[in-house]
Amino acid sequence: MASFCSRLTICLALFVLIWGSANAQLSTNFYYHSCPNLFSSVKSTVQSAISKETRMGASLLRLFFHDCFVNGCDGSILLDDTSSFTGEKNANPNRNSARGFEVIDNIKSAVEKVCPGVVSCADILAIAARDSVQILGGPTWNVKLGRRDARTASQSAANNGIPAPTSNLNQLISRFSALGLSTKDLVALSGGHTIGQARCTNFRARIYNETNIETAFARTRQQSCPRTSGSGDNNLAPLDLQTPTSFDNYYFKNLVQKKGLLHSDQQLFNGGSTDSIVRGYSTNPGTFSSDFAAAMIKMGDISPLTGSNGEIRKNCRRIN
């Protein structure tokens, strides 16, 4: 019996050791000693990119969303296709749409100069998203770090995991819930559409076919988005008509006025369970900012690779 207990104790100890290594917790001070200049290196590169093109802030924020919604926040969206897997870059939600990969390359190069082989691409995405929001006038938050990078990617997972702009409210709530995100998180995170632009192909059906849309707004959008599919598909329009380069709460003010650009946007204010949250954010920007920051931290916790899982990529586009 004593021998059995001894062996059991050893086994349990080993299990705890292995489990703890594979499931290490993310921490806001993860690189405090190993890369003290991390945040300044990332922010200066993000600031430079946004100074050249304001839209890049929205693109970097979107990259983090699209990474986390596909097998967790693991940097998989950054991987180029290889002979052994077809990655996420050409999945339907990302093809001709996801952008900012060169900026992430530049950030990685800057970080590698100050602390080579230490910081994951997944963590760089998380920091760049936070910095983009802050630079464009939005809230800031302490980013939890310690993620490692995936060694593979999946186009099919990206096709299935990222909510489509045609999603209805129940589909949105269901997808966010499956990732541990609440309905309030859904509405707050959707507020990221206060910056950035969308392609005509993603809002054509709404501006020509839907009735819960303000008439003058629909006509304005129709001027640069022809009714015929295949014509002007990549023409862009701002997701927030009022202040497309400022991170504020005008996205929610627009929804209340039936000026949501995407079908999935207007679903948040269409007589359903999220109307009250949208109305609250439209009148209280402070509440939106704090809820958005909290939801971003929560989203960053989705299935990260930590401890001995994954790797620290030298080049964000390919595995080591």
Q: Is 116 annotated for ligand binding?
A: no
Measure the CA–CA gap between 78 and 81, rounded to whole angstroms. 10
Our answer to whether residue 66 is catalytic in this structure is yes
The C-alpha R_g of the chain, in whole angstroms, comes to 21
Identify the architecture of domain 35-161 in CATH.
Answer: Orthogonal Bundle (1.10)
Model confidence, pTM = 0.91
Measure the CA–CA gap between 131 and 143, rounded to whole angstroms. 10
Q: Is 37 helix (H, G, I), strand (E, B) or coil?
A: coil
Q: Is 88 annotated for ligand binding?
A: yes
Q: Is 74 annotated for ligand binding?
A: yes
Residue 205, classified by CB atoms within 10 Å of its CB into exposed (0-12), middle (13-18) or buried (19+), is middle
- Residue 1 has a pLDDT of 52
Contact 271, 228 (CB under 8 A): no
Q: Is 54 annotated for ligand binding?
A: no
Cα–Cα distances in Å, from 258 out to 33, 206, 248, 267?
50, 11, 18, 10
Measure the CA–CA gap between 311 and 98, rounded to whole angstroms. 24
Contact 141, 170 (CB under 8 A): no
Matching CATH topology for 35-161 and 167-297? no
- Residue 52 has a pLDDT of 97
Beta bridge partners of 305: 148
Which residue is catalytic, options 43, 62, 66, 175?
66
- Residue 96 has a pLDDT of 84
- Residue 3 has a pLDDT of 53
Pick the closest to residue 199 from 244, 237, 255 (CA basis): 237
Contact 74, 150 (CB under 8 A): yes
Q: Is 67 annotated for ligand binding?
A: yes
Strands 197-199 and 236-238, sheet pairing: antiparallel
Measure the CA–CA gap between 163 and 152, rounded to whole angstroms. 21
- Per-residue pLDDT 10s for the chain (320 aa) are 555 445 544 444 444 444 443 446 899 999 999 999 999 999 999 999 999 999 999 999 999 999 999 999 999 999 999 888 899 999 999 988 899 999 999 999 999 999 999 999 999 999 999 999 999 999 999 999 999 999 999 999 999 999 999 999 999 999 999 999 999 999 999 999 999 999 999 999 999 999 999 999 999 999 999 999 999 999 999 999 899 999 999 999 999 999 999 999 999 999 999 999 999 999 999 999 999 999 999 999 999 999 999 999 999 999 99
Contact 195, 239 (CB under 8 A): yes
User: Superfamily for 167-297?
Assistant: Peroxidase, domain 2 (1.10.420.10)
Q: Could you state, in order of their start, the residue ranges of all structural domains in the chain?
A: 35-161, 167-297
Measure the CA–CA gap between 212 and 195, rounded to whole angstroms. 22
Pick the closest to residue 122 from 78, 70, 57 (CA basis): 78
- Residue 85 has a pLDDT of 84
DSSP 58-126: HHHHHHHHHHHTTTSSSSGGGPPP-SS---STTSTTTTTT---HHHHHHHHHHHHHHSTTTS-HHHHHH
**Largest pairwise CA distance in the chain:** 82
Q: Is 263 annotated for ligand binding?
A: no
Q: Is 174 annotated for ligand binding?
A: no
Q: Is 131 annotated for ligand binding?
A: no
